[in-house]
A and B are shown apart, each in its own frame.
Chain A
């Protein structure tokens, strides 16, 4: 299958700062890609480039289109939720549904109304009267009713409580996502999306520092709990990270043969957040 997004040599300057530094990657259809990085690493810039919201240097192909010149056509096949504050405050639920139904060729009104029926939203309610969680419910109802090929989520659950956050990702997985769709998501709440991701991209200082699928994460990285007497041996294997728990050391290894690690102690697959913290060490220093 053709890649949904192909980027090569993507660069972007904001005045004197380099937001993206010669970034290349591809995203395949039917994947859920987590684009994860510290604040100011260039996540949003990548998404904006994909959405045609910003200019850049380099090559970028999204669904066979150039987002710089064919944006209007592209947006028929692509949706995005940028973050909770994005729906205009004067908009009513009824108006939002009417509007999208009439300007979007791939919008399914019945689907949207079915989704809204399961929420507390009423047709005459304005966005300004809603809580943050309700705004996201409305936005999600609109987006899920659009049969798009790519969904871009930029911090979609920022500022929501845990109930809304769980519900958000659950709805996406159960009622939206399928093999023909691709979801690209950035978030700081890594723990909550780690089990739904199929691919992982770490971005730091405008560079992609890790681009892998989740199965490969388990093969490549290993977390080993090592007792104090073996710690010195473990350190010789160049661990990415070391931390102490209950008198034992937990080491994070990148690309070390699992057979060798077995001798040191119990091997686990590292969580994405531990991996992230280890990879981004010293970012803000």
Chain B
């Protein structure tokens, strides 16, 4: 256990840039963009005399608006704030997804290429421990850091808006209480186990390629599933195969290449009502919705296949002899 802990630490040392600095910088950029947006709004507002047109009554008006909200609208505002908070996490997720994808591709390949695998293999570490530590780094440690960054950025962004509006004399602090930050944090952290299971087929496939390929793991990882899809489609066109090609693309290729993107399991939920019903957002982004995917075989089959591919990666790690 101690060895695995230090192996994970080792991964973090090597990939500090991807695991830590990438989400931090993304957060910074996100906040900066928001700030720039606010400045643009202020400048445009002042130039068009938007505020001046109403004299000093505009802020009154805004605060009046705030006060005149009925319960339903209050709900809407709250949901809006939740979504705004999540939007920071969404941007970080996109970056995080790339980081993890390429991390997995390089995890069992880079040290073979620079031959430092000989150093790691000169230590009493089993290949299972090595692969396990890399899986934990990719599907627990890295997303955890991304979530923490996302939450902090979300808070910072709400704060930024609150301060800006306060400068206009609008007491929005009360509005902020309409948001459900703890719900949002709970949802994101609580979804971590689901994410782990969900991402296993992609993590497994990428690491299998990483461990198996003698060169260019990225090409193999992408070309093989795409080629299989094309061949299946071709057979389907010939009428030889009953299998629908779109099923393959959706249920195999996407799962094998893109499941590191967080929230992929939410796709089946009904999103159409969100416009009308504020609770739809909170229902959609709820742990029960997240965990409902566990009732479907998809995630479990994917996880099992992922574990099998990781076992293959471990085997190749042991016997691939090219250093």
Contacts and interface: CB of A to CB of B under 8 A. Distances in A.
21 contacts: A51-B121, A53-B118, A54-B321, A73-B124, A75-B123, A76-B124, A79-B122, A81-B122, A85-B115, A86-B118, A87-B119, A88-B14, A88-B116, A92-B13, A99-B10, A100-B123, A102-B3, A103-B3, A103-B6, A103-B124, A139-B119
Nearest to A92: B13
A135 to B, nearest CB: 11
Interface string B80-121: 000000000000000000000000000000010011101101
A105 B124 contact: yes
Interface string B284-323: 0000000000000000000000000000000000110101
Which secondary structure dominates where chain B touches chain A?
helix
Interface in A82-106: 82, 85-92, 95, 98-100, 102-105
A82 B2 contact: no
Contacts of B9: 99
A104 B124 contact: yes
B118 A82 contact: yes
B125 interface: yes
The 4 closest A-B pairs by CB, nearest first: A88-B116, A75-B124, A82-B118, A76-B124
Nearest to A101: B6
B2 A48 contact: no
Contact of A103 (B13, B14, B125, B319): B125
A55 interface: yes
Contacts of B122: 51, 75, 79-82
Contacts of A87: 116, 119
A53 B121 contact: yes
A89 B113 CA distance: 12
A72 interface: yes
Contacts, number: 69
Contacts of B2: 102-103
A51 B318 CA distance: 12
B126 interface: yes
Contacts of A82: 115, 118-119, 122
Given A103-B123, A104-B123, 15 more contacts: A51-B122, A71-B318, A72-B126, A75-B123, A80-B118, A87-B119, A88-B114, A88-B116, A95-B10, A99-B10, A100-B123, A102-B2, A102-B6, A103-B7, A105-B124
A91 B115 CA distance: 14
Contacts of B118: 53, 80, 82, 86
A53 B121 CA distance: 8
Contacts of A139: 119
Nearest to A75: B124
Interface string B147-174: 0000000000000000000000000000
Contacts of A72: 124-126
Nearest to A87: B119
Nearest to A12: B321
Interface in B36-79: none
B10 to A, nearest CB: 6
Contacts of B323: 53
B13 A95 contact: yes
Contacts of A89: 114, 116
A104 B120 CA distance: 11
Nearest to B13: A95
A86 B115 contact: yes
Contacts of A103: 2-3, 6-7, 123-125
Contacts of A104: 123-124
B235 to A, nearest CB: 34
Given A53-B321, A99-B10, A86 B123 contact: no
